[in-house]
Chain A
């Protein structure tokens, strides 16, 4: 597909008989927001895990800008510019909010990060900017476990936006947010997209999907049933039936 930054072809994964993902094709096009929609257990999170190398596929290919990345370790894939969030956030609970974000900028395992004091100052600067954008500046010194629900969601986002990754895979980043926080989240995401980030978003709230997504990929029981413009997908009575859990044939 033209402009495809991340392409997934024939990806499959089975967990002891459960076909979590079945020969799924998907393209993330540069600058386009794709929403991954589907009922519980459809395989959305599994698809992210496969792309990021957290679990290895039984079959299929993943390419980032033409380069095969299947089989690479998660940290390698992350360094190539794919950032992801987790449905259960997985914040670094006993670290401060600032350290959670700062740590995302320190990839080397060596005892010292490269670039000396100057680079360290720059990282701190970027961290403060990310905290500012996510409204967490006042909480920089608090431990992540002590944050409120909405704050944890924004911290998860701050860790990603600070990395300057080209692709964001967000697993239900807005679930459970109050209207004010949700508006803030939508604005943040729009800002990032305007700045050139390619986003794939798992989201159950169809209002948010409509507001943010340029495309929808519809997943059910491991299969991609449809992909296209939001209006078209959301008008399809069969898909909506599956989504809202109508009895199936």
Chain B
């Protein structure tokens, strides 16, 4: 039981980083990417390869995962500079589909459909951190660091620049904002963080394959951000907890037959999301709207 809870807590922490990183794009820069799982995946594969072939050091692997995701984020930044709104959503959808194909076919890098197995237990600067408690601590540390950095950046001029672009790109330009630069940097930050989350995920599961990096995952991440409250610091965490723990909680309800849990989950998810968007469109963590 403890093992189960520890695993759940670690996954929630990792998804917290993911949702917070997507929030930089969606909530602050207004870039509605449905390709975030791609960068989660890139980070996971890169981190896993470092662990498998070099050393299983979380810091080194995360650095590699974050860096590669940050570099490849240019694939997302490019369309973000050219198109907005629904057109960008379509472009990022294309990238997501492309990436899933690459993940499934590039056997030498990703292990293809079978994925990468036997990722060694994690260490951190020579210390073994592979026990569930220790690895949870590592993940909590990473989450805290991510949130603090995001908070600092978004409270400053950089964050205001992104939000200005989100609210009116042309007005931001007219006030001297270098929109392409701001967007590119925001995308790079968000995607690198997703890459770090990916590496942590690879260590936690010791096994990864393309199933975790599909469109469905991207949509779930987007739902976490929006339900929790896009553009708020803690909203994505609230959304993550809700959407990640919901299945867990449902599976403990005694009168649902085990075979039906999936269906019930989908129903509750769908209903909750629809109701939420009707009654709290700005998300759970957003301050309730009122004048002044």
Contact = CB atoms under 8 A, between A and B. Distances in A.
A74 B163 contact: no
A83 B176 CA distance: 9
B275 to A, nearest CB: 23
A90 B178 CA distance: 17
Contact of A146 (B160, B178, B291): B291
A44 to B, nearest CB: 16
Interface in A83-122: 83-84, 86, 90-95, 99-100, 102-104, 106-113
B249 interface: no
Most chain A beta carbons < 10 A, residue from B163, B166, B177, B185: B177
B231 interface: yes
A54 B174 CA distance: 8
Contacts of A86: 170-171, 174
Contacts of B164: 92, 95, 100, 103
B160 A107 contact: no
Contact of A163 (B157, B175, B181, B182): B175
Nearest to A78: B176
Most chain A beta carbons < 10 A, residue from B156, B157, B173, B176: B176
Contacts of B179: 75
B148 interface: no
Q: Is the interface of A mostly helix, strand, loop or mixed?
A: loop
B180 to A, nearest CB: 8
B167 A109 contact: no
Interface string B158-202: 101101101110111111111101100100000000000000000
Contacts of A109: 158, 161, 177-178, 181-182, 185
Q: Which interface class (under 10, 10 to 19, 20 to 34, 35 or more) fits B? A: 20 to 34
A142 interface: yes
Contacts of A73: 173, 178
A75 B176 contact: yes
Contacts of B166: 94
A119 B158 CA distance: 15
A52 interface: yes
A125 to B, nearest CB: 15
Contact of B167 (A84, A95, A102, A113): A95
A94 B171 contact: no
A94 B156 CA distance: 16
Contact of A103 (B161, B181, B231): B161
B176 A79 contact: yes
A108 to B, nearest CB: 7
A70 interface: no
Contacts of A95: 160, 163-164, 167
A233 interface: no
A103 B168 CA distance: 12
Most chain A beta carbons < 10 A, residue from B160, B168, B171: B171
A90 B179 CA distance: 16
Given A79-B176, A104-B175, A109-B177, A92 B167 contact: yes
A129 interface: no
B27 to A, nearest CB: 10
A139 B163 contact: no
B170 A103 contact: no
A141 to B, nearest CB: 8
A13 interface: no
A223 interface: no
A197 B291 CA distance: 35
B164 to A, nearest CB: 5
B178 A75 contact: yes
B292 interface: yes
Nearest to A159: B175
A142 B289 CA distance: 11
7 contacts: A75-B178, A86-B171, A107-B176, A109-B178, A112-B158, A142-B292, A159-B175
Given A75-B176, A95-B164, A103-B160, 5 more contacts: A78-B173, A78-B176, A83-B174, A104-B176, A139-B292
Interface of B: 153, 156-158, 160-161, 163-164, 166-168, 170-179, 181-182, 185, 231, 291-292
